[in-house]
Amino acid sequence: MIQQDMMLFYHGMPRADGMVSKEQRPEADMNIEFQSTAKFAVEAQKLAWQFYAANEAYATDYPAAVGPHMTNTDSTPFMDLVPAISLRENERGREVGAGLDPHWHQPTDVFATFSEKDFRLGLNAAQTSFGALARLTGATLSGCHAACRCFLNSPTNSRRP
C-alpha cells in the first residue's frame, strides 16, 4: 500500500511570531515512512528503500529520507494487512504534529497557496513514485530514453552532476 499525502509544503518550522517562511526550504526533502511495529514491517521497509532508490535515480530536485515511524496517516489501517508506506513532505509525527505545515486540514490548503518550488516538490514525489512503480512492475518506456537522459543531466537539474 503506497500512500502519497501532503507532498507540496516544506517551509520549515513557524518562527516565534507564528509565521512560516513564504519560500520552500532549500533542504526540503520527501519522507518515506513505514511503521516498524507493523505486522509487515520488514516488507514495508524493503518497499521504502526501493522508493528511496527510485528517488536517487529519478527525482530531479529533492532527496528522500526513510523513517520507521509512520503514524496518524491514512495508510495506518493497512499496515497489518499488507506492506504499507507513506510518502509525504514532512515526518507526520514529529514535524506535521509540531506545526510544520500550517495548511494541514485548513481552508488555506488550496492551489493558490503554493509556489512553483512547492509544486516541484510534488513533481519529485511523482518522479519517485512512478520510477519505483516502474521498477517494481518491470515497466519500461520506449523511444524516450535519450530524451530522459538529456533532461536528467541538464543544468536545470540541481540534483544531478
Q: How does the average pLDDT of the chain come out, rounded?
A: 82
Q: What is the mean pLDDT of residues 57-69?
A: 92
pLDDT at 54 over 90: yes
DSSP symbols for the chain = -EEE---S----S--TTS---SS--TT--EEEE-BTTSTTHHHHHHHHHHHHHHHHHH-SS--EEEESB--SSTTGGGTTTS--EEEESS-IIIIITTTS-TTTTSTT-SGGG--HHHHHHHHHHHHHHHHHHHHHHT---SS-HHHHHHHHTSTT-TT--
pLDDT tens-digit map of 73-121: 778 888 899 999 999 877 665 666 666 777 777 898 888 888 888 888 8
pLDDT-derived band at 28 (thresholds 50, 70, 90) equals confident
Q: How much is the pTM?
A: 0.80
Q: How confident is the model at residue 131 (pLDDT cuts 50, 70, 90)?
A: very high
pLDDT band at 160 (very low <50, low <70, confident <90, very high): very low
- pLDDT given at position 148: 57
User: What mean pLDDT do residues 55-66 have?
Assistant: 93
